[in-house]
Amino acid sequence: MTSEEHQRAVSPYSTKEKIGRLLWDIVGQRLFRCTFHTWYGVRARIVNLFGAHVATNARLRSTVRIEIPWNLTIGDNSSVGDGTRLYCLGPVTIGSHVSISQHAHVCAGTHDFTKPDMPLLRPPITIEDHAWIAADAFVGPDITVREGAILGARGCAFKDLDPWTIYGGNPAKPLGQRDAPGGATS
């Protein structure tokens, strides 16, 4: 085996991560999905058992798909809608009072396309307090959605979103401002 073939054969995941992902898929995700639709606290406890840091008053719907829960942090009074995908290959931090609407995709994983073997990269995503990621929207790797920003339905964020700004489209472009608490905009 050449060194290049060996590099391709090496997994980007440690043995501990592989075992954790297997246990999450077989046990955790199934328990999570089998909960009654209003059992938000139970679902928070389930993901926290697998290393997540989810506030007990966060609202995750039972159809949310989470990859690698130990890379997930969700603050107080945030909600994640039906069919949303939280692809936490890298750290995903969701602040307080955040709304992530149904079928959104938060993707903290990509590949280094500048290398022939395209190794896996796991950059973080941060969604700050009071932000809203609307239905079917996509937040890409290494993105920060600043406080109070809105990414409109089916919008795609490939660059950081400014605070208290409304975005839409693919790629997302600023559409307007929203008022910060107290009436001021940033």
- Written as one string, the DSSP assignment of the chain is --HHHHHHHS-SS-HHHHHHHHHIIIIIHHHHHTS-TT-HHHHHHHHHHTT-EE-TT-EE-TT-EEESGGGEEE-TT-EE-TT-EEE-SS-EEE-SS-EE-TT-EEE--EE-TTSTT--EE---EEE-TT-EE-TT-EE-TT-EE-TT-EE-TT-EESSPBPTTEEEETTTTEEEEE-PPTTS---
Q: What is the pTM of this model?
A: 0.91
Question: What's the mean pLDDT in 11-33?
Answer: 92
Average pLDDT, the chain: 93
Specify if 2 maps to a domain.
no
- Whole domain around residue 140: which residue ranges? 14-174
Decide if 121 is inside a domain. Answer: yes
- Summarize the confidence of residues 63-76 as an average pLDDT: 98
Among 62, 8, 56, 74, smallest CA distance to 31 is for 62
State residue 183's pLDDT score.
64
9 within domain boundaries: no
Mean predicted confidence (pLDDT) in 101-111: 98
Residue 186 lies in a domain: no
Average pLDDT in the 53-77 region?
A: 98
Report if residue 92 sits inside a domain: yes
Residue 67 belongs to a domain: yes
Domain count, the chain: 1
CATH of the domain at 45: 2.160.10.10
**Measured at the alpha carbon of residue 164, what is the angle toward residues 101 and 69, in degrees to the nearest 5?**
40
Residue 65 lies in a domain: yes
The pLDDT assigned to 11 comes to: 83
Where residue 180 falls among pLDDT bands split at 50, 70, 90? confident
